Structure 1
Amino acid sequence: MKHTGKQNMAAVLIAVLLAGCIPMTTATTAYATDATRKKLQEAQNQKSQAQEDLNQTQEDLQNLNQEKDSLQGALNTLNSQLKEVSNNLEELETQIDDKEAEIEQTQEDLAEAKATEELQYESMKKRIQFIYETQDYVMLEMLFASANFSDFLNRSDYIDQLSAYDRKKLQEYTETKEQIQATEKQLEEEKKELDDYKAQVEVEKSRVSGLVGQTSTSIAGKKNEISQAEAEALAYEQSIKEQEENISKLQAQLAEEIRLSQLAAQSAWRDISEVGFAEGDRYLLANLIYCEAGGEGYAGQLAVGSVVINRVLSSVYPDSVVGVIYQGRQFSPVASGRLAIALAEGRATASCYQAADDAMKGNTNVGNCVYFRTPIEGLSGINIGGHVFY
C-alpha cells in the first residue's frame, strides 16, 4: 500500500496511539506527520537545488550571449573586409583591362613600327649599298664638276649634310624601336604584377570568405546552445514553481494531519464483536492480502489483514471492509487494477484466506496500527516482511 491517504493518516495514527500500537506522548504525535515532514524537507531541498541550477544556467546563458555578440562583431568586421577586398578586386580588374588595352595598342604601334622599320631598313640597305658601290665616284664627280672654289665648298657642305641626315634617320629609327620594345616590356611587367596581385586578392577573398563561413557556423552553434540553455532555464523555473506549489500543499497537508491527529485522539473504537461482516468480505480481504503480501509469510499477510480490520474498528474510517478497502487513494492495488484482476481470477491462496479469517476474528500482530508501507528513513513502527506498520 502506498502512503497516499494524506488527510486521514494523522487521525488514524493518533487513533492507533490511543489503542496501544504506540504509546501516547508528545513525540508520538510526530509519527503521524513524519512522512509529510520528510516530503516537505525533500521538496525544499529540491527547490534549492533547482534554484542553484537555474542560477548556473542563467550565468551560462549570459556567457553564451556575450560569446555570440563577440562572434557577431567579428562577423561584421569580416564582412566589411570581404566587401573591401571585393571592391579592390573590381578596381584592379578595371585597371587590368585598361592595361591590356594599352598593351594591345602598343602591340599595334609596334607592328606598324616594325613595318616602317622594314621599309626603312630596305631603303637604308640600298642607300648603304649605293654609297658603298658608287658614293666615292659620285662624290668625286660632284666635287670635280664644281665651277669654282665657292661652288666646290657648297657641294662639299651638301655632301656633309646628306651624310648627317642619313645618320640622324638611322638614329631615330633605332631609338623608336628601342622605345617601343621598352614600352612593351614595361606593360608586360605591369600586367604580370597586376595578375599576381589579382591572384593574391583572390586568395585573400577566399580566406576571408572561409572565416565568414566559420564564424557564421560558430554563431549558429552558439544560438543553438543559447536556445538549449533558455529551455533549461525555463524548465528550472517551472520546476521551482512546481516545487513551491508542492511545498505549499505539503505545508497545508502537514497542518491538516496535525489537526486530524488531535481529532483522532478523541475518537472511539468498536469491539470486533460489534462488527457485522457482509457476504463477500472474506473473499475481498483475502485477495487484497494476496495483492499486498502474497509473496510474504503468514505473519506479513496477517499484518495486512489486521490493518484493514483496525480501520473498520476505528471511528475515523469507514465501518465496513468494502468501505475501507475502496476508500480513495488508500490501497495501491485498487488504483492500479491488480485487485480487480485478483478478484476476477480468484488468486488468493489458502494462506491469504487463513490470514483474512484470523483478522476478522480480531486477531492482530500489529496492535492497533492502521497504516503500512515500504520502510523509509525516519518512519518508526513494527517491521514485518517488506513493510513497516504504524
Structure 2
Amino acid sequence: MKSYWGRVMRLVAVTMAIVLCINWGSAGTTVKATEETKKALREAKDKLNETKGQLSETQDQLDDKKEDISNLHQEKSVLENKLDDLNSQLTEVSNNLSDLENQIDAKTDEINTTQAELEAAISTKDAQYAAMKKRVQFIYEKESFMLMDMLTDVGSFADFLNHSSYVASLSSYDRKMLDQYKQTCAQIDEKEKTLQSEKTELDQCKVEVEAEQSRVSGLVSKTSGSISEYKKNISTAEEEAKNIESKAKEYENQVAEQNADVKALEAKLAEEIRLSKLAAKSKWRNISDVQFAEGDRYLLANLIYCEAGGEPYEGKVAVGAVVINRVLSSVYPDTVVGVIYQNAQFSPVGSGRLALALANGDANEACYLAADAAMSGATNVGNCVYFRTPIPGLTGINIGGHVFY
C-alpha cells in the first residue's frame, strides 16, 4: 500500500514538474515573443521617424525648387520686359533709318536737280559768253566799216550818237547778263556744295543709325537667347520639382504604410502581451491528454506542406510542433482544427492555399512523417508557438527559411 502511494506521489510530482516546465516554457516563449515584438515595434517607429525625416527633407527640397522656379519666372519676366523695350527701340531706330534713307533719297534727287540746273546755267552762261564774244569780235573787226556806214547812213549827228549809244548799251547788257549768269552759276554751285554737305551729314547719320540698329538687334538676339535659356532652365526645374514631388509622395505613402505597420505591431504586441499574461497563468496539457480527431493528420500534413513544403524535414517537424504546442497551451484552441483555423494565424488558410492543398491532397510522405512526429509530442523548437520568415531584429530558433519563437 505504501509502495502504491509512493508511486502515486512520485507520479504526481513528475506531473507537476512537467506542468511547471511546460508553463515556464510557455511563459518564457511568449515573453520572448513579446520582447521581439517590442524590438520590432521600436525598429518600426525608428524607421517611421527616419522616413518622416526624409519626407520633411524632400518637402524642403521641393519648396526650394519651387522658389527657384519662381525666381526663374521673375528673371524671365524682367528679360521679356527688356526685350519688349529693345524691340520698341529697334522699331524706332528702324523707322529713323527709314526716314534717313528717304531724306537721303530726297537730298540726292535735289542734288541731281541742282546739278541739272547748274549744267543748264553753265550752258546758258557759256552760250551768252560766246554770243557776246562774237558781237564784240564783230564790232572790233568791223569797227571802221561800221563807223563809215553809220556816218553815211545817219541823217544827223544825233542819229550817230543814238547809234553809238545803242552799241554801248548792247555791250553793257551783254556784260551785265554775263555777270548775272556767273552769279547764278556761283549760287547754284554753292547750293550744290551745301546739298552735298547735308547729304554727307545724312550719310554719316545713316552709318550711326545702322550701327545703333545693329547694336539693338544684337541685344534683342542676346536677350531672346537668354529668355530661351531661362525657359529651358524653368522646364528642367519644373521636371526636377515633379520628380521631387513624386519622391515626396512615395515617402508619404511609406509613412502611411509604416504607420499602419506600427499600429499593426502595436496591436500584435498588445495581443501577445495579453497572451503572455494568459500563458503565465495557464497550464499546458500533456500530449497524452490530447484526443486527435479523424482528419487531423491529413489537415496538419497539408498545412506543413503549405508552410514548409520546400524546407528540410527538420523545418517541417518544427512547423508541426508549433501547431501542437498551441493545442497543448490553454491560451489557444485545444484542437488541431481550432488552432489551424484560428483567425489570422496561418497565411495559407486566408489565401486559400490550404483549401487547394486539401482538395488535391498535396502533402507528401515527408509532410506526413513530420505530422506524425509532432502529434506524438516530438519538438525541435521547444515550446515555440510562433514562426515566420526572418526579419531584422527578430531572434529565435532558425531552421531552414523560418525563425521559430
Alignment TM-score, normalising by the size of structure 2? 0.73
2:50 corresponds to? 45
CA offset digits 1:154-179 (Å, max 9, x no partner): 96686356335314413422541463
List per-residue Cα deviations over 1:221-257 (Å, max 9, x = no partner): 4266246526735527735862784486267434554
- Asked if 1 retains the 8 angstrom alpha-carbon contact of 2:104 and 2:199, the reply is yes
176-185 vs 296-305, which moves further: 176-185
Which residue number corresponds to residue 182 of structure 2? 170
Q: In the alignment, is the contact (CA less than 8 A) between 1:143 and 1:155 conserved in 2?
A: no
2:327–2:334 CA contact under 8 A, matched in 1: yes
Most deviating of 367-376 and 221-230: 221-230
Contact 1:17 1:23 in 2 (8 A): no
Farther off after superposition, 96-105 or 239-248 = 239-248
AA aligned to 2:95 is: E
Answer with 1 or 2: which has the greater Rg: 2
How far has the Cα of 1:91 moved from its partner? 4.1
Rate the CA distance shift 1:351–1:257 in 2: closer, same or farther, 3 A. closer
| Mean Cα deviation higher: 163-172 or 225-234 | 225-234
CA shift in 2, pair 1:39/1:238, >3 Å = closer
Q: 2:263 aligns with which of 243, 249, 254?
A: 249
Matched, 1:208 2:220: yes
SS of the residue corresponding to residue 265 of structure 1 reads helix
The number of aligned residues is 375
Q: CA RMSD in A?
A: 4.3
Please name the residue that 2:18 is paired with: none
C-alpha distance in structure 1 between counterparts of 2:328 and 2:143, whole Å: 164
Distance 1:338 1:132 in 2: 144
Kindly provide the amino acid, as one letter, of the partner of residue 46 in structure 1: T
Residue identity opposite 2:117 in structure 1: A
Would the alpha carbon gap of residues 81 and 51 (structure 1) be closer, same or farther in structure 2, given more than 3 Å must change? Answer: same
Larger RCO: 1 or 2 (CA < 8 Å, sep 6+)? 1
Residue 206 of structure 1, CA deviation? 5.8
Q: Deviations over 1:126-162 (max 9, x none)?
A: 4266257535336787889696999879966863563
Indicate how the Cα distance of structure 1 residues 333 and 242 shifts in structure 2: closer, same or farther if over 3 A, else same. same
* Aligned counterpart, 1:346: 361
Unaligned runs of 5+ in 1: 1-15
1:314 equivalent to 2:329? Answer yes
8 Å CA contact 1:17, 1:24 repeated in 2: no
Please, what TM-score do these two structures have when normalized by structure 1?
0.75
What is aligned with 2:11? none
Aligned partners of 1:26 and 1:260: how far apart in 2? 9
Whether 2:106 is the aligned partner of 1:93: answer no
Amino acid at match of 1:166: L
More divergent stretch after superposition (79-88 vs 221-230):
221-230
State the identity %. 36
Match of 2:399 among 377, 384, 387: 384
The answer on whether the counterparts of 1:308 and 1:324 sit within 8 Å (CA) in structure 2 is yes
Matched, 1:127 2:131: yes
Whether the aligned pair in 2 keeps the contact of 1:18 and 1:265 (CA below 8 Å) is yes
In structure 1, the residue matched to 2:8 is: none
Paired letter, 1:375: P
Alpha carbons of structure 1 residues 377 and 245: separation in structure 2 relative to 1, 3 Å: closer
